[in-house]
Amino acid sequence: MNLKRSLLLGMTGVFAAGLFATTALAAPDTIKIGAIISVTGPASFLGEPEKNTLVMLQDQINKAGGIKGKNIQVIIEDSKSDETQAVLAAKKLLEKDNVIAIVGPSTTGESMALVPIMNAAKTPLVSCAAGAPITNPVGDREWIFKTPQYDTSAVEAIYTYMKKHGITKIGIITISTGFGDAGKKALQELAPKMGMTIVADEKYGPKDSDMTTQLTKIKAAGAQAVINWSVGPGQVVVTKNWHSLKMGIPLYHSHGWGSKKNIELAGKAAEGVIAPLGRLVVWDKLSDTHPQKALLKKFETDYKALYKSEPGTFGGHAYDSLMMVVEAIKAVGPDKKKIRDYVEGIKKMPGTGGIYNMSAKDHCGLDMSAFEMVIVKNGDWEILK
Amino acid sequence: MFTVFLQFLFSGLTVGAVYALVGMGFNIIYNSTSIINMAQGEFVVIGGLLMWFFTESVKLPFFLAAGLTILSAGLVGLLMERLTIRPLKSADLLLMIMVTIAVSILMRGVLMFKFGKDPYTYAPFTEGEPFTVAGAVIQQQTLWVIGVTACCIVMLYIFFNKTMMGKAMRACAVDTTAAKLVGINVSRVVMISFVLSAMVGAIGGIAITPISLMEYDKGPMLAVKGFCAAIMGGLGRGRGAVIGGFAIGILESMTAGYLHSGMKDAVALVIMLAILFFRPAGLFGSVAMSRLRKF
Amino acid sequence: MLELNGISKEFGGVRALSNVSFTVKAGSVSALIGPNGAGKSTLLNAISGIDPPDQGEVVFAGERVNGLSPMTIARRGLSRTFQHLELFGDMTVLENVIVGRNARTKAGFLASGLRLPFALREERESRKTSEEILDYIKLSHHRDDLASNLPIGEQRVLEIGRALATEPKLLLLDEPAAGLNMRETRDLGELIKRIRTEKGITIILVEHDMDLVMSISDAITVLNFGEVIARGTPLEIQKNPLVIAAYLGDEEA
Amino acid sequence: MGRGNFMALALMLLGVAGMPFLTSGSYALTVGIFAGINALVAIGLCILMGSAGQVSLGQAGFYGIGAYVSSVLSIKFGLPVALSMIAAMAVASFAAVLLAVPALRLKGHYLAVATLGFGEIINVLLNEWGPGGPSGFGDIPHLTLFGYTLSSTTANFYFIWICVAAVIIFSLNILNSRTGRSLRAIHGSETASIAMGLDIVALKMKVFILSAVYASFAGALYAHYVTFISPSSFNLFYSVLALMMVVLGGITNVWGGVAGAIIITILPELLRKFEEFDVLVYGLILTLSLLFLRKGIVPLLIEKAVRLKGGSGARA
């Protein structure tokens, strides 16, 4: 009985405290940047490296003296991979923390849910998600930017490479989430334009444990290659199934494949798998004169030293998003409108994802050249020419 | 054509074996308590992740690692029963089920802390090329999973039919009050059922991880599918869950193969609903028995 | 009022009722007696539609009702009580009776939710009628108590009250005196008589308490092994050698 | 409606009216909006479970139908939002009938899994056939009533909580009437209910429809407020969450649904301070609350209040 009463009391207390609590006072000379990241939930494989990256960058920037003597504070909110939570997090960041810009969210859906809020609050958002609708139509997305490459760019890179090798009939297999769906749409959209025929179109769930059926169907349909579009454990399972079926046709992955972890998990099944990847994972194989090399090297080594793991493509997205905001503040000061205008005007800025060229018509600023076609050989990446 | 069909069948068997193993775990607890333990999926995850920890991180030999994993999972089951189910005594069943859901959220939190969000895997029990039957391939590990499932069935059968404790547990399943009257320690039965089902779950996790990989949040999906398997076979029927699991796995695979892979989950569920419509207590359950239970 | 023609019922090969036929006159009190397992409750279930007969015909108020759902039969004016009390335990005494009125009222989700005038009027009338019934069965003082808190005797009376609320033409009472003491049983007998004479409701009761049966029944039907072995006035039945044999042979009572 | 309910309603409306003045900005109001939307779903589930004794793990299905149908009708067919919302509720009712036909043959766990299956099927369909597929779609218009468009957070907040109040009154009216008594009677004893001439099948069917209407209404409100939806907002996790709200708040009382919804919505916001640990703390709080506040918060509070007053009675 007593426990019951104290629990009731305790809960009331927590709620009362929550209602009347004011945000912790930050030193007046810090610049507050918000971040909405899928730290938990189904998209947490994106959120984990993103969050780590943001924390690392914040500390590095502050240790180096901040921006014009002012420290930055990146306030990270967990969206739990849920649109409703993302909306709440944005409201909190905008109103309680008065951030001047927001980095993230991690997924396309969450980013889309924030579009009206950011436009109403007249605050820039630099998303870490790839979906084309995040920044298009640009007319309705005045305050929205994104750093990951377009799915269509990745598809273009794959198709171009395939055509060089005489592949025209393909089977696609995509994960039934926003990521896979966006890839599927890009694959379908570009196929007729680039002379590709999709002979089989298969799907699987994010937690499925065997995709042999789908791959068998693709093979039976007479495809010359398989393209898998997914993130998370699914692409490893597909790779293993592809290997054990001895399909005799090459397997291509999306840019979601870009983590050494995937090679480790798939083991020797990963040998020969091809994917369009940003240069982050293959920085050590770039020529020293490549404009991205120095930056990639520093990011990758710092991250590895700190977290004992790889930042991967997704950590890179967070890097690019935050650095765009930081560069803007360095240049024009902490003013929302000026930051927006600066980001829109970014030209030839090297990032982890590629070399950014933003414009009033393009709030992403990357194209096919952001990718290298990379094959797995002897458990390591190798750039295909 | 036949090769393709056979390949679909093998894929269905692989997936079905996973569901079957999870479904069996549900039945053990259901039989002695009428509770559906929604944290059953987490037991499987614990099995896979701890096995990874012991083999890849601590580098223990296979059997020692497996033994430790199963024991640890049993301990988790024991703790869960002692800390959350026992204090509730004979509360409303719905409440108990919600508690198991809350515990599963808690367990996922702990697992996320310990293991992060990455998927894990380790080498299959036996290395080597997959077997080929009439042109269709089946992974060695799939055979292991089916074998482990069979072993579990046999061992549970022996336990429930030949040992005193097992018989006591079956008595509890039929009539708790009567079991109490004849001097069976019901609370111990409940505890053992949690331990046992956690262990079966962990065994499942150990077996399936080389195939499907394992990550901290795979539990709910496994629980839902296993639950469906148990229901389809008729709750409380050990072999029912196994057949239910394989049935759902094969249904999914055939739907993906001959209809559309995007619809495989939906079609499997529709068929399950249809089965429930004609047999409201599952394929092997008896309506009369299910009426005796309130839940 | 009620006519049974050749009712038979089997449970898994066991004949629970075989070829039961008899007629109940309107406005009478009929009793159904017989040793345990003679098929009395089975017969009540067959009449009320809960467990319809395999063969035969149940004619209620001039119409064939077997095959109809128990709900429809109830709405036609047949109400009953249960051997193992089936009250709505977590509702008050008054609410239990009001539920009985449901068969005679209409308001649905929308009408009640929006408090439409007709629904409110209906509600007032149900409440009034139910309170009158509580007065009639002398349970008004327990009006707002939970039904499950009443002593068993009053629970049995409440079940009768609830059945009365449906405005039945025929009332089936399944062992209404089970678990009652002498005084309660006498009061119950009085109540049954009053219901018959004042409300003109036909009553069929299954009962083991022979004193009660003999004192209130107009006609008695004796069942044994699912068959009617005798039928007549209380006096005739008491003298019937078949009945005596059935009882002495099978039961100590 | 008893005095307790009247007081609770007055208190709630007072709180709602005062909220925009007590808090600055729209963050708290946005939390309030989601709490209100969740409350609508929870009230329906409360009636379904607490009064009619039916379990549902498929409320997300109805919630999703409400959101999707209303959005699609208003975008693709240019229907005024108010009309599209009503159409969405009609479609959800139809879906409820489809579900109820097989589900009403089932009990307990079997019913739970059937409703769960239904919710999952709807989710798969939204993924496969919904506009935008798994990615979802945006640019859904706001609700316009009598020429006024509800685009501001404050307007939405007031509107949604007025809807909640209306639904509470409607539900209390039902529960305290012939219909509500019938539902409780069925819960108490099906055998006796049939013998009293209650149409059990129709009643269960209708209560399923009622809960579906509430959930789809909530879904439509969600879609037209957030203006972006995707299938992941309407999956099994939401169904479980709704169940959690009801059990935590108290299954036997409509107010339990409201209280549970508010708590479950606010809790994650309060736990933001714990950052990484929030999942752990969340799980811990849920487990402890369920273990110690068994009957649910509202029934416990009523019990306490009754004991303080020394009275008896005060039932919802």
Q: Please enumerate in sequence order all residues whose Cβ is within 8 A of that of A149, keeping only pairs 6 or more positions apart, or say none.
A: A130, A255, A278, A353, A354, A364, A366, A367, A370, A371
Query: In this model, does residue A13 exceed pLDDT 80?
Result: no
Chain C residues whose CB is inside 8 A of the D174 CB are: 109, 112-113
What DSSP state is assigned to residue A202? Answer: E
Chain D residues whose CB is inside 8 A of the C70 CB are: 194-195
For residue C250, what pLDDT is reported? 52
Report the distance separating Cα D271 and Cα D282, nearest Å: 8
Closest Cα to residue B44, out of B229, B193, B239, B220?
B220
Chain A residues whose CB is inside 8 A of the D289 CB are: 7, 11
Report the distance separating Cα A116 and Cα A120, nearest Å: 6
For chain A, which domains are there? Answer: 28-149+300-366 (3.40.50.2300), 151-277 (3.40.50.2300)
Ordered by start, the domain boundaries in chain C are 1-77+168-253, 88-167
Q: What is the CATH number of the domain that holds B89?
A: 1.10.3470
Closest Cα to residue B231, out of B13, B21, B36, B17?
B36
| Range picked from B81-90, C33-42, C140-149 for highest mean pLDDT | C140-149
Interface A:D, ≥3 CB–CB pairs < 8 Å: yes
Q: Do B116 and A244 touch (CB under 8 A)?
A: no
Question: What separation in angstroms does the CA of C208 have from each of C25, C35, C191, C222?
Answer: 22, 8, 18, 11
Instruction: Report how many domains make up chain B.
Output: 1
% pLDDT > 90, chain C: 47
* Average pLDDT score over residue span C170-194: 91
* Average pLDDT score over residue span A62-89: 91
Chain D residues whose CB is inside 8 A of the B103 CB are: 283, 287
- Measured between CB atoms, does C109 come within 8 Å of chain D? yes
| Nearest beta carbon to residue A233 from set B11, B119, B222 | B119
For residue A9, what pLDDT is reported? 58
Q: Which domain holds residue B213?
A: 7-292
Give the tens place of pLDDT for each residue, D79-136.
999 999 999 999 999 999 998 888 888 877 888 888 988 999 999 999 988 888 888 8
| Nearest beta carbon to residue B4 from set A207, A220, A236 | A220
Chain D residues whose CB is inside 8 A of the C82 CB are: 191-192, 195
Residue B1 lies in a domain: no
State phi, psi for A359 to the nearest 5 degrees: -160, 175
Rounded to the nearest 5 degrees, what angle is found at the Cα of D205, between the Cα atoms of D203 and D211? 100
Chain A residues whose CB is inside 8 A of the D127 CB are: 176
For residue D315, what pLDDT is reported? 44
pLDDT 10s digit of each residue in chain D, 316 long? 578 888 889 999 998 888 888 877 788 999 999 999 999 999 999 999 888 888 899 999 999 999 999 999 999 999 999 999 999 999 999 999 998 888 888 877 888 888 988 999 999 999 988 888 888 888 899 998 888 888 888 999 999 999 999 999 999 999 988 888 998 898 888 888 888 888 888 898 999 999 999 999 999 999 999 999 999 899 988 999 999 899 899 888 899 999 999 999 999 888 887 777 777 888 888 888 888 888 888 888 888 888 877 654 444 4
Mean pLDDT, contiguous 10-residue spans, chain B (295 residues): 90 89 88 85 95 94 95 96 84 81 91 88 89 88 90 88 84 77 84 93 93 90 89 81 91 91 85 82 66 45
- Measured between CB atoms, does A174 come within 8 Å of chain D? no
Chain A residues whose CB is inside 8 A of the B115 CB are: none
Report the distance separating Cα D266 and Cα D28, nearest Å: 9
Kindly report the nearest CA distance between residue A1 and chain D, in angstroms: 9
Pairing of strands A31-37, C227-232: unpaired
Query: How many residues can be counted in chain D?
Result: 316
Chain pair A-B, CB pairs under 8 angstroms: 90
Respond yes or no on whether ipTM tops 0.90: no
For residue B227, what pLDDT is reported? 87
Q: Do D280 and B228 touch (CB under 8 A)?
A: no
For residue D305, what pLDDT is reported? 81
Rounded to the nearest 5 degrees, what angle is found at the Cα of B182, between the Cα atoms of B180 and B187? 30
Q: Do B212 and A246 touch (CB under 8 A)?
A: no
H or E, element range at A259: none
| Four-residue CA torsion sign, B278, B281, B287, B292 | negative
CATH architecture of C1-77+168-253: 3-Layer(aba) Sandwich (3.40)
Pairing of strands A144-146, A380-383: unpaired
Report the distance separating Cα B21 and Cα B25, nearest Å: 7
For the whole model, what pTM was predicted? 0.88
- Measured between CB atoms, does C79 come within 8 Å of chain D? yes
For residue D1, what pLDDT is reported? 58
Q: Do B118 and A210 touch (CB under 8 A)?
A: no
Q: Do D195 and C90 touch (CB under 8 A)?
A: no
Backbone dihedral region for residue C51 (phi beyond 0: left; psi -120 to 50: alpha; all else: beta): beta
H or E, element range at D34: helix D27-46
For chain D, which domains are there? Answer: 3-309 (1.10.3470)
